[in-house]
Chain A
Amino acid sequence: MTRRLSLSILALTAMTTLAGVAHATSTLDTVKQRGVLQCGVETSLPGFGIPDDKGNWTGLDVDTCRAVATAVFGDPTKVKFVPLTPKDRFTALQSGEIDMLSRDTTWTQSRQSAQGLLFTGVNYYDGQGFMVRKSLGITSALKLNGASICVQQGSTSEQNLADYFQTHHMTFKPVNFDNADAIIKAYDSGRCDALTTDASGLASERLKLGNPADHIILPEIISKEPLGPSVRKGDDQWFDIVQWSLFAMIDAEELGVTQANVDTMMKSTNPAIKRLLGVQGDYGKTMGLTNDWAYNIIKKVGNYGEVFERNVGEGSPLKLKRGLNQLWNKGGIMYAPPLD
């Protein structure tokens, strides 16, 4: 009995030690050794993460992964996308199966404190909105008193909707469905006056309607949904790399450095641009990277504005407005600390 017990303890110790060894090396070293970044993304959400017929991934979250891969390897193709569902995204990160998660995940307190992950920043400020038929003649969500509203069952949208109407002393008739397709069908066939979900989702749902031009998205945003990449807790160097890869893209837009002009910008006299592009200082080296890390990101992936326009903005079928995601000095709240 004692022998069997000690054997199983031995086996258990061996297993935990092995697991410990696997996690003891730094994430950066693991990634470099593997030669490819493993990044958890959406399974198929247009504009954020979706594979095309040839398995080429596109999207804002996908390009965030590419930026990190470029910072590490100087090559945006050195990334393997791991499609994850809402249910397995955190486990995949905790178990070390992926190095970072970039899958339209809302930054919340409980996820950070209880799920063992750290959000590195926000790459899309989303929020819940409403879509109505133009023929209703409504231009504000505050005029929706008494309306019937299609909403996804059991979602945070449902809760936010109830809260919003309660605070504004209005009533509504909920029409519940448990999947996005059923909601859009019901709305299209006139079963409800308005449809509510995240604003970015509204834009892509709108395209599925019989005649998208007959519908408008109301300006009110009734909830905060800051979406951004996250990493495992316990590796500060890796956290820095993922965080600053995004910040570098935002700073580049602010400084006017684009994919097209980045080479001429190398000769710029602006000290902020010099630091960003690695002409001056050792900013890359302090994170275990080369000093041209940010230059590579901008050259090969683009600055934040370019990535936004290409995936979800005017250059994409979604045609989302910058809105909150505009830079802080242009009326939005997209703000990155200075690279200094």
Chain B
Amino acid sequence: MNAEASSYVVRDMAPARLPPVTAFGPWRWLKQNLLQDATSITLTIGGLGFIALLVPSLWRFLVSDAVWHGGPSACASAKGACWVFIAQKLPFLTYGAYPEAQRWRVDVVVGSGFALIIWLASPRLPRRNLAAALFFVVFPVVALILLHGAPALGLETIDTSLWGGIFVTLLLGLAGIVFALPLGTALALGRRSNLPLIRLTATIFIETVRGVPFITVLFLANFMLPLFVPAAWEPDRLLRPMIGTALFGAAYMAEVVRGGLQALPRGQIEAARALGLSSWSALRRVVLPQALTIVIPGIVNSFIGLFKDTTLVSIVGIFDFLGAAEAARADPKWQGPSIATTGYVFAALFYFCCCYAMSRWSHGLERRLQHGPEA
């Protein structure tokens, strides 16, 4: 730089100025997300109007007009939700008619079930294969003994007609999920098998079950089965819809898994075979881990669907959570204009929480598996 130039070149940098107010912070967010152009401004205004229309009445129903204290008489002419009703009926909604003194058995089963699921689902915990063994082999047996009772061990027998509420919903959902995945995987493999008999059986099963509504499967399990088997062999009334749920879930799961199998390049299995892996180990170590990872969103989607579908069992006279809610609101002691709505709002909240938790967990799982098992 020469002398003349240095006389008019500024030596010090100009002080940095703040960006315009609309380019950062909350204003930028507002402008980018809500007020970008005419369409988004219209949508924003429309959305706000919708919220303004909905929220006050929801608030009134759920909170300000709701009945929080008192007994059945307080709800007789309530304008808002009758939360007292839910509080009073909560034991029934949770356990059904399971005898009060024995409810610890349900608590133990549900508690240990959740503990095992968390153990299985969190990669940081050690010995997860032990957890899998406990969950898939020991847990069902212990759960059955505890819930149903074993007079030899001093546990009185509790007939399944007394089971009900959230506990039965969780049981149905869990049984469906636990059986649907392995059975569905087997069916998907069967459908891609080279043996015509296996392929045909799997295809017919999948197409038949998928071709009829779930309610038909339930009716079939519930009403047709007893006509075909002698009375002594008749499965329990609760077991029938459980079997129906598992078979129905399996047929859908099979197609989801098949999608994953087809997405896998052929080279993978060929490479595995070229390395000398037997076809069984190639399947177990190469094909299935990759195929199942690809379809996690689909699998969880099926799980969520299955979990919500279990509400249909109330149509065949099982007091699952929704059935218990229906029975609770029919109680002549609790009469009021908002009782039924309160029951349904509570049921909706419950199902939303369960399904949202499953969905978040699957997101976490996907992220982890994409980054490799260590991450």
- Chain A interface (Cβ within 8 Å of chain B)? 15, 18-19, 21-23, 43-47, 50-56, 80-85, 87-88, 91-92, 94-97, 181, 185, 188, 204, 207-212, 316-318
Contacts and interface: CB of A to CB of B under 8 A. Distances in A.
A121 to B, nearest CB: 24
A236 B122 CA distance: 63
A45 B327 CA distance: 8
11 contacts: A22-B230, A46-B331, A50-B327, A51-B319, A53-B97, A55-B162, A91-B226, A92-B226, A95-B223, A207-B332, A211-B77
B332 A97 contact: no
A88 B219 CA distance: 8
Contact of A44 (B89, B330, B333): B330
Interface stretch (B14-22, B132-140, B231-239): B231-239
Given A43-B317, A46-B331, A207-B335, A53 B230 contact: no
A204 B96 CA distance: 23
Would you call the interface of chain B mostly helix, strand, loop, or mixed? helix
Given A88-B223, A181-B340, A97 B234 contact: yes
Given A50-B331, A95-B231, 20 more contacts: A15-B230, A43-B317, A44-B330, A55-B96, A55-B97, A55-B162, A56-B97, A80-B161, A81-B161, A84-B317, A87-B315, A88-B219, A88-B223, A95-B234, A96-B226, A96-B231, A207-B332, A210-B337, A316-B332, A317-B332
Contacts of A88: 219, 222-223, 316-317
A44 B326 contact: yes
Interface string B311-329: 0001111010001001110
Given A50-B331, A82-B237, A95 B227 contact: yes
Interface residues of B, number: 42
Given A44-B327, A47-B332, A91 B337 contact: no
Contacts of A208: 335-337, 339-340
A80 B331 CA distance: 20
Contacts of B339: 208
B330 A85 contact: no
B159 A80 contact: yes
- Which 7 interchain pairs have the tightest Cβ spacing? A55-B97, A95-B226, A317-B332, A207-B335, A44-B327, A46-B332, A91-B223
Contacts of A18: 230
Q: Which of A46, A95, A96 has the most CB of B within 10 A?
A: A95
Contacts of B227: 91, 94-95
Interface in B149-164: 159, 161-162
A297 B99 CA distance: 27
A85 B331 contact: no
Interface string B114-125: 000000000000
A55 B330 CA distance: 14
Nearest to A23: B231
Interface in B183-207: none
B230 A19 contact: yes
Contacts of A181: 340
A104 to B, nearest CB: 13
A88 B241 CA distance: 13
Nearest to B163: A55
A10 to B, nearest CB: 16
A297 B232 CA distance: 30
A182 B259 CA distance: 42
Nearest to B336: A208
Given A22-B231, A55-B96, A97-B226, A43 B323 contact: yes
B297 interface: no
Interface string B92-114: 10001111100000000000000
Contacts of B316: 85, 87-88
Nearest to A88: B223
Contact of A82 (B91, B99, B161): B161
Nearest to A181: B340
Contacts of B327: 43-44, 50-51
A47 B330 CA distance: 10
A45 to B, nearest CB: 7
B164 to A, nearest CB: 8
B333 to A, nearest CB: 7
B332 A318 contact: yes
A317 B334 CA distance: 10
A53 B92 contact: yes
Contacts of A317: 332-333, 335
